[in-house]
Chain A
Amino acid sequence: MLLEVERLDVRYGRNHAIRALDLELAEGEIVTVLGANGAGKSSLLKAVQGTVKPAAGAVRLNGETVTGWSSPKRVRAGLTLVPEGRQIFVSLTVHENLQMGAYSRSDNFDREIDEIYERFPNLAARRDMLASVLSGGEQQMLAISRALLARPRIMMLDEPSLGLSPILVQSLFDLIADLNRDGLTILLVEQNTHMALQTAHRGYVLELGATVLSGTAEELLADDRLEEAYLGGN
């Protein structure tokens, strides 16, 4: 397994956000994590990336336990997170945001930046402008490109489709499938259940920090309990 999460517990004071959660991600997979607001999806990704400390449990990357590692160290080990709300640096230019993505690397990444500009002409046109001028969709492209520049093995995305128009949502999921075809392993947190399950191979449904349902995408799509998890989740 490329990524294993074992009996993970995340607590914020008395608030128990993740409860003894198990999750596996094999090389080359797209796995989606679904759940209502407050189910603990972001907390899971943050604990895997290392920005919140789990109260218990283990995270293993390629068999190696990384639970005590800082998040920069996990980035260098090939794990990257596109956080909820994009979180691009609006006081930096578009180009500088991309350079920040490659911060952990010491080799030359000019060609990769050129490829990104080819793929997203909108970013190329705004290369030297502050990232604050970008539209929501462009910001999401920048956030994903920035994460790609770290040359990750696993990319985790936290609700990337939030706030995008239906056409952009479609092209976003196409992009995710593309990246996966090129060999990137993906852990995708989504509210857009239907689109996520059409793109992913497998899925987990969380409720109050625990898995209530898991299986292949086809199984989940056919399961009535999926809807219940959303209605009963809060």
Chain B
Amino acid sequence: MDLSQLPQQIVNGLMLGGVYVMVAVAFTLIIGMLNFLNFTVPALFMLAAVLMWAILEGHGIALDLTAIAVLLVLAMMVADRLQQARLPASVKTVGALGLVAGACVFLWLILSFKPGPAVFAWLDGAVGASGRWLLGIVVAFATVAVLSLLIERFTYRYMKAKYGDATEHALPLVSSLGFLIVIEHTVISTWGSDSLTTESPFGNASFELGPVLFSVPQLLSLILSLAIVFGLSVMLKTTKLGRALRSIAERPDTAPLMGVEVSRIVPVVYVIAGLLCATAGILFTINYTTVDAYIGDTVATVAIAGMVLGGLGNVWGAIVGAMLIGMVEVMSIYMVGATFKKIPIWGLLLLILIVRPTGLFGHTAIGKGKF
């Protein structure tokens, strides 16, 4: 083993940990507030990464997927308005049927004419291929943000409306698994399940500092990811929204007595968590240039491990845990080889959980007072 490589490996571990941090914090936000493990988090991470790849590689069909996601959410919002409107039931029924018919026609139009590639070609001509990454960011963010609203509705809100209790977490967990499968298979049926590779829009920009080679995009990503997560934790700690979020996390039934509109804030949390995943996914594609439909699974297990390691539902714990896991992963690839990298990660997790069942920074009462 060549020890001179050690500093480089530590840096690589930190970079990888930066990606895990955002995914782990996305998990943490939802589990901390709503007490359920949201499996759409890795799916949204993967989707953003693949959409970024698709746009970089000139696959205009990505725009069609975005259009469908936006369409579904718009239809859902109109349906909501319709349901709440003071109209006779017959008018509502006709409206609902019209809405469904309209949505089907649009869906059919999109699926049969696939306008995405043409729109993409036009945009590409206008912006130039070097600006594709900007379009990729817009497409990935837009798709993930609207999908988050859709997911909120069918995991959390549905449970709340139907059973008056969204902390019954087995069912949202299962419905979030459903979304995971649907999103994964949409990607697989569009682009297959093999590795998808591209080239970083920023080339191999890098600089050396002593024995260590720093990739500029990776370093910027790490800084960005830490800045975002730091900003988020300051928001939770000091702002009115942050206080409201913490109060919902502790007592979802008391927060409304303070005037907190829980049903309006929960979608915001889903969108924030979704955008964290999307940022992580976009940075993953740019930095590692190889994605596939299953990267969500890998990242999710590692991010969950990081989150549990740090202490369930604790933002800072998730950060430390994810960085630690990133380090362990890179170090063990370096020392014992990629085949065995999972053994040190999960071994460490088990060991720490035996010594400290609440994780490094966790509260004793899981699910209470989490941020």
Contacts and interface: CB of A to CB of B under 8 A. Distances in A.
A72 B243 contact: no
Nearest to A71: B256
A80 B257 contact: yes
A169 B38 CA distance: 46
Interface stretch (A88-96, A119-127, A159-167, A189-197): A88-96
B245 to A, nearest CB: 11
A70 B261 contact: yes
Interface in B232-252: 240, 243-244, 246-247, 249-251
A104 B258 CA distance: 7
A75 interface: yes
Contacts of A81: 257
Given A90-B369, A100-B243, A75 B254 contact: no
A204 to B, nearest CB: 22
A75 B259 contact: yes
Interface string B351-371: 000000000000000001111
A150 B259 contact: yes
A91 B371 CA distance: 8
Contacts of B243: 92, 96, 99-100, 103
Contacts of A71: 256-257
Interface string A28-67: 0000000000000000000001110000000000000000
Interface in A83-123: 83, 87, 89-92, 96, 99-101, 103-104
Interface string B259-271: 1110000000000
B253 interface: yes
Nearest to B255: A100
Interface string B3-34: 00000000000000000000000000000000
B258 A75 contact: yes
B260 A91 contact: no
A89 B250 CA distance: 7
Contact of B247 (A51, A100, A104, A150): A100
A76 interface: yes
Contacts of A99: 240, 243
A166 to B, nearest CB: 28
B257 A75 contact: yes
26 contacts: A49-B257, A50-B256, A51-B253, A70-B256, A70-B261, A71-B256, A71-B257, A72-B259, A75-B258, A75-B259, A87-B257, A89-B250, A90-B250, A91-B368, A91-B369, A92-B243, A92-B246, A100-B243, A100-B244, A101-B258, A103-B258, A103-B259, A103-B260, A104-B258, A104-B259, A146-B258
Interchain residue pairs A-B with the least CB separation, the first 10 = A91-B369, A104-B259, A75-B259, A87-B254, A72-B259, A71-B256, A103-B258, A103-B259, A100-B258, A91-B250
